[in-house]
A = this chain, B = another copy of it.
C-alpha cells in the first residue's frame, strides 16, 4: 500500500530529495559513495518510482491505447496481440478499450486516453461512427493516432489495413470459377471502410465475369447479432443463392448456423467463403474456405508505426497508408 517514495529515502539517509533523485538516475554530479548508498538503500526498501508523478511531470505515460469494437473476436484479439508484442518490445504498455460498436463508448475511450496522456492511440472504428470531427481535431492538434482495419475515409490519417478489395475480389472470382452464378454477399454496416472495400471487390469480380449486380443478394448486417441470423435465413429462402461470401467472423458463424438449420449441404447446395480469422475454420464441417487477414502482422505494423510517430515526430512526413496482403485459404466449403 504505502509505497516508498524518494522523500522517505532522503529522510532516512539524511539527504535531499534532489540528491536521491540524481543518484538514482546515475547523475555525474553525485559522488560514487553517495550513489552506492542511495542505490543500495533503494533496493533494500524496494523502491519503485511513481509513474504517475512522472507522467504528470513529463507529460508522457509510456502507454498507448487501443480501441476495438470487441475483444471476444478472433480478428481483434489477434490484432491486439500484435500490438502488444511490439509495445512490449519497445517498453510501452497497452490499454485496451472496447467500444462495443457504440459511439458513446468510443468517444469516452478517446477522451480518457487523451486525458490520461497516453502517448498515442490505435483505433478500429465502431459501426456507425459518423462524427469523426473530434478525432480529426485531436489529430490536427498533434496527438498520435493510427487507424487500423476500420479506418475513416473523410480525412487523411495514418492507416494500416488489409487488402480488402483484393481479398474480396479473389474470393468472389474463386466462386465464379467454380461455377457459381448467384453469389450472395453478407456484409457489415455500410459505412465501414472494410464493408465498402469488400463490397467493391465483390462487385468488381462479378462485373469482370459479366454477372449483373443483384441488390437482393446483398445484405447489410450491422452489430445486432440477433437479427443477423434471421435476416440471413430469410434471404436464403427467398433468393436461393448458390454461394455465400461473408465479410466477417461473426457473419460467417451466423451463416453457417443458418445453413445448418435449413439442412443445406455445403458445398453441394451452397458454397461458402468467409472473410475471417476463425481459429476453428478448418474444423467446421466442411472446412471453411476463408480470406485470412494478417491480423497479428497488422497489429505489429500499427504498433510500430505508432511508436515511431511518438518517438520521432520529425522524421515521418505525410500520412502512412499501409496495406497488408490477405490470403485466400481454400478449403472444401467453396469447391
Contact = CB atoms under 8 A, between A and B. Distances in A.
Contact of A52 (B84, B116, B285): B116
Contacts of A141: 1-2
A174 interface: no
A116 B284 contact: no
A292 B52 CA distance: 41
Nearest to A137: B46
A115 interface: yes
A53 B50 CA distance: 12
Contacts of A328: none
Interface stretch (A21-29, A72-80, A176-184): A72-80
Contact of A115 (B3, B74, B77, B285): B3
Contacts of A80: 71-72
Give the oligomeric copy count: 2
Nearest to A78: B72
A198 interface: no
Contacts of A88: 105
Given A51-B116, A253-B279, A257-B283, 14 more contacts: A1-B141, A1-B142, A2-B141, A53-B56, A73-B77, A77-B77, A88-B105, A93-B95, A94-B96, A96-B96, A256-B283, A257-B282, A283-B285, A285-B285
